[in-house]
Chain A
Amino acid sequence: MLFNSYTFLFGFLPFTLAVFFALRWQTARIAFVVAASFAFYGWTVRWFPLLMAASMAASYGSGLVLARMQTERTRKAALAVGVTATLSLLLYFKYADFPVARSLQGVGDLSGFSVGSVRDFTRHIVLPIGISFYTFEGISYLVDIYRRQIEAERNLLRYAYFISFFPHLIAGPIIRYAKLGPQLRSFYRFDPDLFASGALLFSFGLAKKVLIADNIARWTDLYLAAPGNLGLLNSWGAMIGYAFQIYFDFSGYCDMALGVARMLGIELPWNFNRPYRAASPAEFWRRWNVTLSGWLRDYLYIPLGGNRCGTLRRDANLMATMAIGGLWHGAAVNFGLWGVYQGVLLVAHRRLQPLPIRVPRPVAVAVTFVLVVIGWVLFRMQGASAIGDVLTAMAGLNGLGAVSWSLVAWIALSGALMWGTPEEWTLSLGTWRWPRFAAVGVLAGVALIWLDQTRPFIYFRF
């Protein structure tokens, strides 16, 4: 089910809120939200909830076993088994076709042995939406228990709530049990300010998605459908447009997720902070998909050694972390390349930091933005030929081209919002007075009318 669908907006959400507040017992509320979340997840594909339940059972059971282990050796073994079990579903559903089956096919092509049947099987595997998110959450839960940062949750309902909570289920933000668990322990008494701020955040998110991202997508999809025809102006126009499209799409979703969660009395972690204001690649990752970059830092980069084992090892750790982060988005070469590119930017930034080069912040922001936009080419385009076409056009080797004034206008509006206004979650929405609510209501009304031409969220496929 999509947040930007009539079914969710006029059916699922009002029903869920009404029943939630009608229930006067915390366990009943948790049980109801879990049931609603499973229904939300299984709305289009009936077996998806079973898969989530299997992943949940693996991490929940491993957490209980891990908590009982006394020695370091047995704790490590329990963690390894738990992480492997949780990760195995993701590996099968997301990565069986790539690189496993494709590598087998490559070996087959070289050696003459036929492995066609393996490839035929794996290419029909359906990727369950949201699996990357709840797998990472399960792993972080186990590692946090191992690190003794949290206690294992013995209450299955509360754990099910953590994994399945529908606002963040499909596309994040990635939450950690230490953040969510304590919020489930006491009965939530209706807080009008929190509810109001949730409604506003949700409206802002809907407007960002439907009014901005979807309108920019009309143009970027048009241009990028034929990358060979692009020139200098329209390739940059399309890619800058895409940079704003993916931001407003994903941050719009996150605002909606944060908003719905607040309406249900839950504070989710924020995920964006106007990322194109960053003055360096490192700062960009502190502003873009913050919960993912935090996860990669805490559960991948630091265990690999972080910056504790010398400069070369630090650089290698950064590259490996970002490459895996890229592949987390999808089992495809272009995502891997995008991760490596981001790793190169981070390493280069670290290497340049000690040098006595100081540039004014606006210049640094502009350079970072351009580098990020070039990176989006690897993320958006699939296949070496398409990537090459766009980069060639951006380098000015394919003529000037022409860009639509409508796209320019959307980019100008997006830029004004990016660099001229704060991220929505930073606003003290709970203290706003009714005239502002009324103004946002008009915005939400227009977004609801435009829903008939909306598109799925980009991050749903990750």
Chain B
Amino acid sequence: MRILALITTAGLTIGLVIVLNWWIDPLRTQFHQAPVALAMERSPNCVFQGRLFGDSGTNFPAFKLDLFRRRDPRVVIVGVSRALSIEAAGDRRFLNMSSPGTGTDVLGPLFARMHSVHPGPLTIYLDVELFWFNPAWNSFVTFDPTLRGRLRELVSKFTLQKTVTKIATDPIQLVRPDSRRFSVGHVIAPCVVTSPGLGYRVGAPHNFFRLDGSWGWMKETPPITGDFVAVEASSFGGFSSFADGRLAQLEAAVAEARSYSWRVIAFSPPFAGWALYDLKRNPDSRQALATFDSAIPALFRRQGIPYLDLSDGRRLGCTRAEFLSQDGWHPIGACATRVHARLDQAARRAAGH
């Protein structure tokens, strides 16, 4: 009886905090469908302020899956932030499912989720990245969040502190949390869905998502300079060996996509000339790049899948300014559009047109 009282009150205390953190959601870890539904009702050109779906990007997958359910696409691009700016360009059945942090281990579960939502025919443009095979790099998104992961976010002093701060700032959230979750403005697009709590003016989001899942970069930042491998050390640092196990993961994911009768076009997105030069100059990444250039085409050949090596941005005519903040590897604007066109062309060829 006494032990039961101890355990029950401890459990109730934790339960109360879980409910409060979940209700207020101060870290925006939960995905709320209402803004997407509202935007789709208003106009296909509505955009969402980026941080509306979480500060750390952990919520992007839920947003992308919701778009996948709503748009019922026929062409989907899957990959990392490098493919994030590729837009639909008028194709209403196109969706950009890319998410920063996607890796070879994420692909299989993602394909399974997509197939369970829409079992029909699909064309996948699969972005394949060199750094996926860096043993020092690990994927950091999941399209299938675990209960344990969610609980760790909710049973947390950090989250509770944020919740208390939010309630203290604006007590109305305790009864109507949606009142601060999003609102709609009309300045740079027919509508901009944002949140007063994000600290930006309603009409001027720095970065935003479109309803096709692509990402718009508005924030002007100084050009990135320096040795590419050193600047992007979080992806290419410690590339001392090639993670062969991830090749097997990639091949299994591709085989799974094929088993759903999906058409897959694999590609490697462009680097700026200087970035590719630095990658080829660094002893570790040079070796990895050489392995990548032989292993990846062979893998897709085995699976009977077209593979476009678009890694040399100069061949696509991508200028230095056509990469985000001139960082050398996040194609934007016309460069991203040319990538999309090349992929469409390859898809038509694969379909026999």
Contact = CB atoms under 8 A, between A and B. Distances in A.
Interface of A: 192, 195-196, 199-200, 203, 432-435, 437-442, 444-446, 448-453
B160 interface: yes
B158 A452 contact: yes
B8 interface: yes
Nearest to B154: A449
Nearest to A430: B2
Query: Which has the most chain A C-beta neighbours within 10 Å: B11, B152, B157?
Result: B157
B6 A449 contact: no
Q: Return the 6 tightest CB-CB contacts between A and B, nearest first.
A: A445-B13, A441-B9, A445-B10, A434-B5, A441-B10, A441-B6
Nearest to A203: B6
Interface of B: 1-3, 5-14, 17, 152, 155-158, 160
Contacts of B5: 434-435, 437-438, 441
Nearest to B8: A441
Contacts of B1: 434
18 contacts: A192-B3, A199-B6, A203-B6, A203-B10, A437-B5, A438-B5, A438-B6, A441-B10, A441-B11, A441-B13, A442-B13, A444-B13, A445-B9, A445-B11, A445-B14, A449-B155, A449-B156, A450-B157
A442 B3 contact: no
A432 B3 CA distance: 11
Contacts of A448: 10, 14, 155
A442 B157 contact: no
Nearest to B151: A6
A437 B3 contact: yes
A444 B3 CA distance: 12
A445 B12 contact: yes
A195 B3 contact: yes
Contacts, number: 71
B2 A196 contact: yes
A444 B157 contact: no
B2 A452 contact: no
A440 B11 CA distance: 12
Given A195-B3, A437-B2, A452 B157 contact: yes
Among A195, A435, A448, A449: residue with most chain B CB under 10 A: A449
Nearest to A452: B156
A452 B10 contact: no
Contacts of A200: 6
A327 B14 CA distance: 42
A308 to B, nearest CB: 50
A453 B13 CA distance: 18
Nearest to B17: A449
Nearest to A211: B157
Nearest to B160: A449
A87 to B, nearest CB: 41
B111 to A, nearest CB: 32
Nearest to B155: A449
A442 B8 CA distance: 9
Contacts of B12: 441, 445
Contacts of B8: 438, 441
A456 to B, nearest CB: 17
A196 B9 CA distance: 15
Contacts of B9: 437-439, 441-442, 445
B158 A453 contact: yes
Contacts of B156: 449, 452
B152 A452 contact: yes
Contacts of A444: 6, 10, 13
Contact of B14 (A199, A434, A437, A449): A449
Contact of A437 (B6, B11, B157): B6
Nearest to A445: B13
Give the one of A196, A439, A441, A450 with max B CB within 10 A.
A441
Contacts of A192: 2-3
B2 A442 contact: no
A200 B3 CA distance: 9
A312 to B, nearest CB: 55
Contacts of B17: 445, 449
A435 B6 CA distance: 9
Among B6, B9, B10, B160, find the residue whose CB has the most chain A CB atoms closer than 10 A: B6
B10 A434 contact: no
Given A437-B5, A448-B14, 18 more contacts: A200-B6, A203-B10, A433-B2, A434-B2, A435-B5, A437-B2, A437-B6, A438-B8, A441-B13, A445-B9, A445-B10, A445-B14, A446-B13, A448-B10, A448-B155, A449-B14, A451-B157, A453-B158
Contacts of A434: 1-2, 5
Given A445-B13, A449-B13, A440 B6 contact: yes
B161 to A, nearest CB: 9
A411 B157 CA distance: 21
Contacts of B10: 203, 441-442, 444-445, 448
A203, A432, A445, A452: residue with the most chain B Cβ atoms closer than 10 Å: A445
Contacts of A449: 13-14, 17, 155-157, 160
A438 B11 CA distance: 11
A439 B17 CA distance: 16
A195 B3 CA distance: 9
B3 A199 contact: yes
A363 to B, nearest CB: 40
B291 to A, nearest CB: 32
A283 B156 CA distance: 40
B190 to A, nearest CB: 42
A195 B7 CA distance: 13
Contacts of B14: 445, 448-449
B6 A452 contact: no
Contact of A196 (B3, B13, B152): B3
B158 to A, nearest CB: 6
- Best-surrounded residue of B1, B2, B10, B155 (most CB of chain A within 10 A): B2
Contacts of A452: 152, 155-158
A433 B40 CA distance: 59
A199 B157 CA distance: 23
Nearest to A197: B2
A448 to B, nearest CB: 6
A240 B13 CA distance: 32
B163 to A, nearest CB: 11
A439 B160 CA distance: 20
A337 B3 CA distance: 46
Contacts of B7: 441
A441 B1 CA distance: 13
A290 to B, nearest CB: 28
Contacts of A439: 9
A410 to B, nearest CB: 15
Q: Which of A195, A433, A435, A450 has the most CB of B within 10 A?
A: A450
A192 B5 CA distance: 14
A432 B2 CA distance: 8
Nearest to B18: A449
A451 B152 CA distance: 10
Contacts of B155: 448-449, 451-452
